Chains A and B, each alone.
Chain A
Amino acid sequence: MDELSWGQILARMAWQFWPVWIALAATFALSITFRRRLGLYGKLFDSPIGMVGFGIVMFWVFTALFADMIITFDPLAQLSGLKNKLPGTPVPGQEGAYYLLGGDSLARDVFSRMVMGARRVLAIAPAATTFAFMVGITLGLPAGYFGGKLDTAISFLANLVLAFPVILLFYLLVTPEIRVTGIPVILAAVLFIFPVIFFTVLWNSRYFTDPKRRNLYVGITLVLGLWAYSGLAFNADPLGVWSMDPNLLNVFVSVVFVNAPTVFRIVRGIVMDLKARDYVAAGQTRGEGPWYIMLWEILPNARGPLIVDFCLRIGYTTILLGTLGFFGLGVSPESPDWGSTIDDGRRLLAIYPHPAIVPALALMSLVLGLNLLADGLREESLRD
């Protein structure tokens, strides 16, 4: 068999992505049809930039979802004779099979690894960002609302974390040695409790006038929350549903830890601005508790900038995860995740660039998509 030309490679890749194209077409058709009824999400489709960004992000989301259908080879399988082969190299012994984007230094299929890498990145980055937001919001609201000593104390801690160069923090936090000391578990225990606190306070402040409903909501939150908490933080879920690989936990916790202070600062700033509004005063004069005012009067009105920052921050987290992979920190060497693939590939960069270039472009396009999406959302939320 001959090697494929670039046109053929692109055509074959496009064909491999067929489930993604269908899903994308369906999403766009539905969204554009009903965009007037979909609020801010619908308005996104009035902005070309936002639409492009959304399209790129969804492309990767669907790729992650349908990765099993898209890949052409097992991402971990090493086929002999295909080490560092160029894109479009036929696989000997298999008719019509090609390493579409070539083989890496261990003779694995670059294309399949890139597709599988999307799944890994898109599983960790949004989840870690969500946790960082929970921590940032739960601490930022009272700091901005009450001010004073509480604010000074939390802000000092946040600045402490922010003054650390991220890489140094990673080198200190994400090492095999540190897992022995149990510091990641302690951090996880602290950071993962915030969502439970957040939702408990959220329901309680709203429904304390109606104890029956309050008990129901708070009860559900506590049961579900503490169940997941025991599994994720301590790996002690009695039912064994929730668990996290200690390697992953270490990475996850560090990323949340690095992101939370920035979210805290943003939330604090917005709260300081919004708390001077009359509707906040109206809440105070009818005797609402401070947490109701923070969570139900202020927070919903801060959603615009927070959603925008959420998108940006997923992108940033993706970059951070890549950085970790690039320095070979905390992930298993076999992992197809983009950062470590770039790290693997860069050793022979000057001679065989393709194993590093492919995940690099993939990562860049995902972050670009998230940034464009955030930009579109920002522009549209500022309008009228």
Chain B
Amino acid sequence: MQDLDTQIWDNSKPILEIENLSISFFTRLREIPAVMDFSCTVMPGEAMGLVGESGCGKSTVALGVMRDLGKNGRIVGGTIRFKGRDLTTMSEEELRHIRGSEIAMIYQEPMASLNPAMKIGAQLAEVPMIHRDMGKAEAWALARQIVADVRLPDPDRILQAYPHQLSGGQQQRIVIAMALMSKPALLILDEPTTALDVTVEAGIVDLVKDLGEKYGTSMLFISHNLGLVLDVCDRLCVMYSGEAVETGNVEEVFNEMRHPYTQALFRSIPLPGADKTTRPLVPIPGNFPLPHERPPGCNFGPRCDYFKKGLCDAQEIPMLAVPDGDRHATRCLRFQEIDWDAPLKAPKTVEKTPVGDVVLRMEDLRKYYNVSSGAFGGGSTKVVKANETLSFEAREGETLAIVGESGCGKSTFAKVLMGLETATSGKIFLYNQDIQDTPIEKRSTDTVSSVQMVFQNPFDTLNPSMTVGRQIIRALEIFQEGADDAARKARMLELLDLVKLPRAFADRMPRQLSGGQKQRVGIARAFAGGAKIVVADEPVSALDVSVQAAVTDLLMEIQRKNRTTLLFISHDLSIVRYLSDRVMVMYLGHVVELGTTDQVFSPPYHPYTEALLSAVPIADTRVKKKRIVLEGDIPSAMNPPPGCPFQTRCRWKAQVPGNLCDTVVPPLKTLESGHQIKCHLSDEILRGMEPVITIAAE
């Protein structure tokens, strides 16, 4: 065993070689194949991306490599060679020596992956103590050094801390540090940044890339985010329904994809240039097949535009090498017949909706909470300023996007608008009627039904023990729609039509629906009372990319039909650019920038918007981004910095004379045509800003 550690691996041979791997899970009823005939090779120092939607088997591959499939999972075929040794036949004892020392893994939920009852230092030092018989003092010294390497401030304090005392970003850095403690040859990252905010994610991605180069570690990077894969990886493997469908060099796959699924995936994500009226997204039709209901032949067949009966469904399809490619392969029989550069077939364009009168106006809205610190209600009370001087208006038929990361106050704002909380001060006008002091139980049915909400989490938005139809009918009852039960039932079926769900779904329970379908029911329920204003709180962020496009499309369509005002809360700037008319950027309860989509996405920026734009990964090789990585984490809303809320992380702070940023909250200044920015920077400096994103000419 020990010789493996010291042995220098020949760099021309692959570190990891997976061949025809098949993994199944066994339940009481049947065997469920999770991964089938999967092959991939990772060379030393190479970063391999595994991309696909949820349920495609990408995480199972990672766990298969770690041989940690739980009680029900089993490798049913193929080999996994790590440095030439087959992991599938290794004993537990041999595996134990490899895990953590040669192969390390980083997970999605940093908080959950750290032991809450052990100090950080002990958790880190454990690794070399197990694998290299290192003494305690030496191991702690090493831990201290690695903690500094992952760019955490004050390593000594952090080593003595418990996980809950660190922020999410810091925790993830600790998990990375733990993985690097024994300088592994292979690092597996399973959605390492999904739980983090975008600006924090950017820092982690940078760190991973740098460390990968510094230590020469190979990486298996699992993500659903194509943009992130482009940022991090050299090669990628696209998975669909348990199979690899396309693999190759990242640039090559992005620019010259040779599988219909990869193509459909790219067409369904909002890249720069997509627009809701002129170049709408193309959703992938149909649904992801359930593991035990996969079609014969090509798994993607039923959803594929190029499907040919008798060919695609007649045989098992092998991976075929793409000629002249850099180890580029695709699982498509027709890849040489398809014209990959053909433009989209007559994309359906729609009229831009004209914007009507102001329906909603907020003036200087503030919402403060009193919270008592301490777990048992003792101690002093603190004021959390969730919303500070919020002023804007929204017009009929308009989409106003509200952008910000966690703790920016967007959810509080939604609660106040809905009447679940009342404002501390300020005014909310709904059709010139002020409602800021009217809690929801005092609002008229009309007011309630005209302001509705679509929720974020599809698994939570529907009551799991009520049928879909019943839930919509209940909304109709409460909004006093329809004269009797029959009328309401008819209206419910119409609403199902509206959201493009089969009428048979009325009798289904929510657990029988997929995430996207549940979200559609949520939309139908929100529009049950003919809502005029709909607050959509991250309605698609929990959905898979291909479903996101369809749900977004649906929202837009209903909006056009009903001339609804849509308040679209999101942290995803790509989708915001795609669908919104105007954008409001929030940070720690303040509106820092407000303007039309074009104004916000092009200079001059508020420094925070600039960083946010730079942080969002974009899956387009033509896009060149300016790299702006923000230092540190978002301050807690309990304890905001004095002066400008963004001053602790602002890279432009030096350009403002004196200590203005430290002491004075900047005024909201209006630039040309209503574009508002809350910043102390002078007009010249603002004018001199360069665009963050440029699209290289083709």
Contact = CB atoms under 8 A, between A and B. Distances in A.
Q: In the complex they form, do A and B come into direct contact, defined as C-beta atoms under 8 angstroms apart?
A: yes
Nearest to B484: A210
Contact of B440 (A282, A284, A300): A284
Contacts of B28: 46
A210 B480 CA distance: 10
B138 interface: no
Contacts of B452: 285-286
A300 B463 contact: yes
A149 to B, nearest CB: 13
A287 B444 CA distance: 9
Given A277-B460, A288-B478, A282 B525 contact: yes
B461 interface: yes
B464 A278 contact: no
A281 B480 CA distance: 20
Nearest to B463: A279
A379 interface: no
Contact of B461 (A282, A284, A286, A288): A282
Contact of A278 (B455, B465, B479): B455
Interface residues of B, number: 31
A81 B445 CA distance: 81
A209 B529 CA distance: 15
A297 interface: yes
Given A285-B452, A285-B453, A287-B448, A209 B480 contact: yes
Contacts of B448: 285-287
B441 interface: yes
A277 B525 CA distance: 16
A57 B475 CA distance: 42
A159 interface: no
A22 B266 CA distance: 65
Contacts of B462: 279
A120 interface: no
A303 interface: yes
Interface string A24-40: 00000000000000000
A301 interface: yes
Contact of A286 (B457, B463, B466, B475): B475
A49 B548 CA distance: 44
A300 B460 contact: no
A289 interface: yes
B420 A209 contact: no
Contacts of A301: 463-465
Contact of A285 (B418, B445, B456, B465): B418
B231 interface: no
Interface string B451-483: 111011100111111100000000101111000
A278 B518 CA distance: 12
Contacts of B529: 286
B480 to A, nearest CB: 7
A300 B478 contact: no
B443 interface: yes
B128 interface: no
Contact of A287 (B456, B464, B478, B525): B478
A103 to B, nearest CB: 50
Contacts of A303: 465
B223 interface: no
A286 B449 contact: yes
A375 B455 CA distance: 35
Contacts of B455: 278, 281-282
Chain A interface: which size bin? 10 to 19
B522 interface: yes
A116 B441 CA distance: 55
Residue of B466, B478, B522 most packed against chain A (CB within 10 A)? B478
Contacts of A46: 28
Contacts of A286: 448-449, 452, 475, 478-479, 525, 529
B478 A209 contact: yes
Contacts of B478: 209, 286-288
Contacts of A288: 478
A297 B453 contact: no
A339 B449 CA distance: 59
Contacts of A277: 460
B455 to A, nearest CB: 4
Nearest to B511: A384
A208 B319 CA distance: 62
A21 to B, nearest CB: 29
A202 B675 CA distance: 52
A301 B28 CA distance: 25
Contact of A210 (B419, B456, B475, B477): B477
B441 A287 contact: yes
Interface string B398-423: 00000000000000000000111000
A15 B453 CA distance: 65
Interface string B95-121: 000000000000000000000000000
Contacts of B443: 287
Contact of B460 (A278, A287, A296): A278
Nearest to B449: A286
Interface in B419-434: 419-420
A284 B475 CA distance: 11
Nearest to B419: A285
A39 B18 CA distance: 42
A303 B441 CA distance: 28
A288 B420 CA distance: 11
A297 to B, nearest CB: 6
A36 to B, nearest CB: 10
Interface in A279-315: 279, 281-282, 284-289, 296-297, 300-301, 303
Given A278-B456, A282-B525, A289 B465 contact: no
Given A284-B420, A285-B420, A286-B479, A279 B460 contact: yes
Interface of B: 28, 418-420, 440-441, 443, 445, 448-449, 451-453, 455-457, 460-466, 475, 477-480, 522, 525, 529
12 contacts: A209-B477, A209-B480, A277-B460, A278-B461, A285-B418, A285-B419, A285-B420, A286-B475, A286-B529, A287-B445, A287-B449, A301-B465
Given A285-B451, A288-B478, 15 more contacts: A278-B457, A279-B463, A282-B455, A282-B461, A284-B418, A284-B440, A285-B418, A285-B420, A286-B452, A286-B475, A287-B445, A287-B449, A289-B441, A300-B463, A301-B464
Closest 6 CB pairs of A and B: A278-B460, A278-B455, A300-B465, A287-B448, A279-B463, A278-B461
